[in-house]
Amino acid sequence: MKKLPLFLSLAMGLISLASCEKETVEVENPAQNKAAAAATSLTAALPGGTWHLTDMTSSVVVPGSNEVSTTSMFARLKPSLRDNQIQYQDGGQYIENEGQLKQDEDAPQQSTGSWKLNEKGDSLTITIGQSARSYAVAELTPTSLRLRSTQSVPQGASVTTTSVFAR
């Protein structure tokens, strides 16, 4: 009989230990989470509406000179290029609509392709057919998109074109 209380105490102890659940705590990297959240929010800001060009500038840097010559190109664009509409759809589909004014009446009304924003959200690649164009993303909000593209030209100069889109 003296063993019964000892046996019951031991059984209760084992039951209480068996009912305990091991807790695991995951340590998260805040910088990694912030970067992932930023990229996700940027990717989410691109689709969901129609974008149209509101400004375009061209900046030229001549080698050996600290001067930058910037020219507004938007006013010089043909009206048939200014009324184009662009859609970045979920899933990476890109649609460019020629708008009401078409430069070439025989050209299709829409061009389709794909788009991809890199993980950091600072580079956008648009592919139409066999042609791929990459842009630096200078600004991306739900209502504003600013893309930059830099090209080298003869004599070592570089030309940076900045295109600004709005919804």
Nearest CA to 119 out of 41, 14, 20 is that of 41
| Mean pLDDT over the full length of the chain | 82
Instruction: Tell whether the model's pLDDT for residue 48 goes beyond 60.
Output: yes
Q: What pLDDT, in 10s, does the model give residues 100-150?
A: 888 788 888 899 999 999 999 999 999 999 999 999 999 999 999 999 999
Residues 6+ apart with CB under 8 A from 75: none
Whether the full predicted model's pTM is greater than 0.75, yes or no, is: no
Instruction: Identify the structural domains of the chain with CATH numbers, from first to last.
Output: 48-166 (2.40.128.20)
Residues 6+ apart with CB under 8 A from 98: 80, 83, 84, 107, 108, 109, 110
